[in-house]
């Protein structure tokens, strides 16, 4: 179905199915592997017998515990409170008793302090917040306070506290709120399913975000491999004057904030800058649904949808689970971990982190669990000077030289090559015929700069 509406000056006018998709310089075109789960409706799993809730679930400072061992808690009750300006709130994700506060494996790969709750055998205690029925007339700071109270962070993977992003920095104005529905990482289909199954909630979340940030305009940017979701969105937005859709080329990393804004708004976020520097704010689809739940229904963030996909799984799918659910339960729901040597990645295969322990829990930013074959053994061969890494770098960097500077500990060379601008998308490593661990070298270089 086509809609003809006037678009703001710097956006293309979108008519579903009738326009060219838009994209950015660099990046790679790879098999998206969405076919494993894109048609699998979201399935809700029961609460785990024990929920492991790491304090570290947001960028910035982790919240501090406000419960003690032995405390009885309802699902939705605050168990850790914000500890600084860039922090968040953490809630019990199950009804039960706090049995430990101790180090536990974390999706980042290191052990980290976690509050462990043993789920009660019977009962279903839940404590939420009062819905904000008058949110359309509410002050932006009251909505931001609700988002903090609900413990919402960027659910696409970054984990940045959502209320901080919603507040325009001093002297800046947010004109446009963008919902990032690119979901450009291979395998992941959480955002796709939410766009299809919770379309109205995504739109409500965007409107609340616009109110909280003072943005006059909203955009939902969708990659063209989600045509069904785009169609549904277009219908939901039919009466909206200030919300637009933009169709994106399927290319990695289309969903990286800088590349997304270049594509959607033709604006370049300066080096070291923020979307607010170009009058924009970007939030993920699942963050928008969580904000809608918190404001409209008084629900804190205690669960999320995770794609479990990859090779050798009998039942890959999209599962809604309580935070703190161990990865082992998700793999069981997907038919059990396949036999043989494998790699389990939390997040997408391009930017995710390899896991070593199936007891590691789902946290607020866990968008996927992907099972991949082991890496080839021959790695880090000498650089061939082929230049492939240069051609795909979406930031216009020279990855081979950055890696060499980092490897040799040449901090000034690394800084001179703008190493800090690397967003660790992995495009360079993906195309490197010498299988060089370019991203790991660049991470090393960034550590030298600190
Ligand atoms: S240098 Fe950084 S930004 Fe450029 S392709 Fe490699 S990982 Fe991506
Ligand atoms: S792609 Fe690999 S081999 Fe080619 S120049 Fe870059 S680092 Fe060297």
Model confidence over 262-281: pLDDT tens digits? 988 888 899 889 999 999 99
Whether 381 lines ligand 2, by a CB cut-off of 6 Å, is no
Closest by alpha carbon to 388, among 26, 31, 32, 30?
26
Average pLDDT over residues 181-199: 97
Measuring from atom 3 of ligand 1, which residue has the nearest CA?
A: 422
Q: How far does residue 383's CA lie from ligand 2's centre (Å)?
A: 5
Q: State residue 16's pLDDT score.
A: 41
Q: What is this structure's pTM?
A: 0.92
Q: Give the pLDDT band (50/70/90) at residue 338.
A: confident
Q: State residue 337's pLDDT score.
A: 83
Q: Which ligand is nearest to the CA of 395?
A: 1
Atom of ligand 2 nearest to the CA of 384: 3
CATH number of the 305-372 domain: 3.10.20.600
User: In angstroms, how far is the first alpha carbon of the chain from the final one?
Assistant: 52
Residue 132 scores a pLDDT above 70: yes
Average per-residue pLDDT for the chain: 92
Q: What gap in Å lies between CA 108 and CA 118, rounded to an integer? A: 23
Q: How far does residue 428's CA lie from ligand 1's centre (Å)?
A: 6
Residue 176 scores a pLDDT above 50: yes
Measuring from atom 8 of ligand 2, which residue has the nearest CA?
A: 383
Q: How far does residue 441's CA lie from ligand 2's centre (Å)?
A: 13
Q: How far does residue 31's CA lie from ligand 1's centre (Å)?
A: 19
Atom of ligand 2 nearest to the CA of 428: 1
Q: Give the pLDDT band (50/70/90) at residue 9.
A: very low
Please identify which residue in the block is written with the tokens 């509406």: 5
Measuring from atom 2 of ligand 2, which residue has the nearest CA?
A: 432
Please identify which residue in the block is written with the tokens 């507040």: 167
Average pLDDT over residues 185-198: 97
Residue 183 scores a pLDDT above 90: yes
Residue 330 scores a pLDDT above 80: yes
What architecture is domain 141-297? 3-Layer(aba) Sandwich (3.40)
Residue 6 scores a pLDDT above 60: no
Residues with beta carbon inside 6 Å of ligand 1? 392-393, 395, 397, 399, 422-428, 438-439, 442
Q: How far does residue 393's CA lie from ligand 2's centre (Å)?
A: 12
Q: Give the pLDDT band (50/70/90) at residue 215.
A: very high
Closest by alpha carbon to 106, among 55, 60, 68?
55
Q: State residue 20's pLDDT score.
A: 59
Residue 197 scores a pLDDT above 60: yes
Q: What gap in Å lies between CA 19 and CA 34, rounded to an integer? A: 23
Please count the other Cβ atoms lying within 10 Å of the Cβ belonging to residue 10. 12
Q: Give the pLDDT band (50/70/90) at residue 341.
A: confident
Q: What is the pLDDT of residues 34-80, one digit of tens each?
A: 999 999 999 999 999 999 999 999 999 999 999 999 999 999 999 99
Q: At what angle do helices 199-213 and 227-236 cross, to 10 degrees?
A: 60
Q: What is the pLDDT of residues 78-101, one digit of tens each?
A: 999 999 999 999 999 999 999 999
Report the percent of the chain where pLDDT is more than 70.
95
Atom of ligand 1 nearest to the CA of 423: 3
Whether 388 lines ligand 2, by a CB cut-off of 6 Å, is yes
Q: State residue 449's pLDDT score.
A: 67
Closest by alpha carbon to 88, among 365, 423, 346, 369?
365
Q: How far does residue 436's CA lie from ligand 2's centre (Å)?
A: 7
Q: What gap in Å lies between CA 195 and CA 227, rounded to an integer? A: 11
Q: What gap in Å lies between CA 370 and CA 185, rounded to an integer? A: 11
Q: How far does residue 440's CA lie from ligand 1's centre (Å)?
A: 11
Atom of ligand 2 nearest to the CA of 434: 3
Q: Where are the domains of the chain?
A: 50-119, 141-297, 305-372, 388-449
Q: Which ligand is nearest to the CA of 398?
A: 1
What architecture is domain 50-119? Beta Barrel (2.40)
Q: Which of 379, 382, 383, 407 to mutate to test the pocket of ligand 2 (most atoms within 8 A of CB)?
A: 383
Whether 400 lines ligand 2, by a CB cut-off of 6 Å, is yes
Whether 178 lines ligand 2, by a CB cut-off of 6 Å, is no
Atom of ligand 1 nearest to the CA of 392: 5
Residue 1 scores a pLDDT above 50: no
Q: At what angle do helices 199-213 and 285-297 cross, to 10 degrees?
A: 80
Please count the other Cβ atoms lying within 10 Å of the Cβ belonging to residue 336. 13
Measuring from atom 4 of ligand 1, which residue has the nearest CA?
A: 393
Q: State residue 21's pLDDT score.
A: 67
Atom of ligand 2 nearest to the CA of 385: 5
Q: How far does residue 30's CA lie from ligand 1's centre (Å)?
A: 16
Pairing of strands 217-223, 72-73: unpaired
Q: Give the pLDDT band (50/70/90) at residue 135.
A: very high
Q: What is the pLDDT of residues 374-387, one digit of tens each?
A: 887 788 999 999 99
Measuring from atom 8 of ligand 1, which residue has the nearest CA?
A: 425
DSSP 421: G
Residue 162 scores a pLDDT above 90: yes
Whether 81 lines ligand 2, by a CB cut-off of 6 Å, is no
Whether 386 lines ligand 2, by a CB cut-off of 6 Å, is yes
Atom of ligand 1 nearest to the CA of 439: 7
Q: What gap in Å lies between CA 148 and CA 216, rounded to an integer? A: 23
Residue 260 scores a pLDDT above 80: yes
């Amino acid at each position: 179905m086509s809609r003809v509406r006037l678009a703001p000056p710097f956006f293309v006018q979108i008519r579903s199915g009738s326009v060219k998709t838009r994209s950015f310089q660099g990046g790679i075109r790879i098999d998206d592997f969405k076919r494993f789960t894109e048609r699998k409706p979201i399935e809700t799993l029961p609460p785990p017998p024990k929920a492991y809730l790491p304090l570290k679930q947001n960028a910035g400072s982790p919240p501090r515990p406000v419960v003690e061992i032995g405390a009885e808690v309802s699902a939705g009750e605050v168990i850790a409170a914000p500890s600084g300006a860039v922090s968040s709130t953490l809630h019990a994700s199950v009804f039960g008793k706090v049995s430990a506060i101790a180090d536990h494996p974390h999706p980042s790969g290191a052990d980290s302090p976690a509050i462990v709750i043993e789920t009660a055998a019977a009962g279903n205690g839940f404590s939420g917040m009062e819905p904000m029925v008058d949110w359309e007339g509410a002050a932006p700071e009251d909505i931001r306070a609700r988002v903090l109270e609900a413990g919402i962070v960027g659910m696409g993977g970054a984990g940045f506290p959502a209320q901080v992003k919603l507040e325009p920095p001093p002297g800046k104005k947010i004109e446009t709120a963008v919902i990032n529905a690119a979901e450009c990482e291979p395998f992941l289909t959480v955002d796709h399913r939410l766009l299809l199954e919770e379309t109205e909630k995504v739109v409500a979340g965007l409107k609340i975000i616009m109110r909280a940030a003072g943005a006059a305009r909203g955009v939902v940017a969708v990659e063209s491999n989600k045509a069904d979701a785009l169609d549904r969105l277009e219908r939901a937005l039919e009466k909206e004057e200030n919300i637009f859709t933009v169709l994106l080329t399927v290319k990695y990393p289309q969903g990286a904030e800088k590349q997304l804004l270049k594509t959607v708004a033709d604006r370049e976020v300066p080096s070291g800058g923020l979307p607010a520097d170009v009058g924009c704010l970007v939030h993920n689809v699942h963050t928008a649904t969580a904000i809608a739940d918190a404001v409209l229904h008084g629900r804190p963030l205690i669960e999320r949808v995770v794609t479990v996909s990859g090779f050798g799984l009998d039942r890959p799918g999209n599962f809604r689970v309580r935070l703190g659910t161990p990865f082992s339960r998700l793999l069981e729901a997907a038919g059990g971990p396949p036999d043989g040597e494998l790699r389990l990645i939390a997040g997408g295969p391009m930017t995710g982190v390899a896991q070593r322990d199936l007891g590691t829990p789902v946290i607020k930013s866990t968008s996927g669990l992907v099972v991949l074959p082991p890496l080839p053994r021959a790695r880090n061969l000498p650089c061939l000077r082929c230049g492939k890494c240069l051609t795909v770098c979406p930031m216009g960097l020279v990855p081979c030289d950055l890696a060499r500077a980092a490897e040799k500990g040449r901090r000034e060379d690394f800084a001179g090559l703008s190493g800090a601008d690397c967003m660790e998308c992995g495009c360079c490593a993906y195309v490197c015929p010498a299988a060089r661990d370019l991203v790991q070298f660049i991470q090393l270089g960034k550590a030298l700069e600190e």
